[in-house]
Amino acid sequence: MIFSVDERFVVRGGRSAELAIRSVKSAKDGSFHITESLGKLGGWLPWFKNRALHLKVLDPMVIEVTEGPVSTRFFKCSSDGRSL
């Protein structure tokens, strides 16, 4: 999962998806409520409804993303092989 300006990229099992971030609202607990759509394909798929997710920074190395009933924790990693 990669967040970039107004998009989120998700790569799973060799497939990727590009989702456009429509809004980001901060919550009192420091987390974020993010609403997104399918990006460039959104206008072509009328049955796709905007999705919402909840992002919380647990510490500088870990974020938790909750989509519906499923929460997933993501850990920062280094691409150059060094320990962080």
- Evaluate whether residue 64 is within a structural domain: yes
Mean pLDDT score, 54-81? 86
- The string of pLDDT tens digits covering residues 8-66 is 887 877 787 777 888 889 999 989 998 887 655 545 555 556 678 899 999 988 999 99
Please state the domain count of the chain. Answer: 1
**Sign of torsion over alpha carbons 1, 32, 72, 51:** negative
- Evaluate whether residue 49 is within a structural domain: yes
- Evaluate whether residue 19 is within a structural domain: yes
Domain holding 40, by residue range, is 2-75
Q: Nearest-CA neighbor of 35 among 57, 18, 20, 56?
A: 20
As a three-state string, the secondary structure of 6-72 is CEEEEEECCEEEEEEEEEEEECCCCCEEEEEECHHHHHHCCCCCCEEEEEEEEECCEEEEEECCEEE
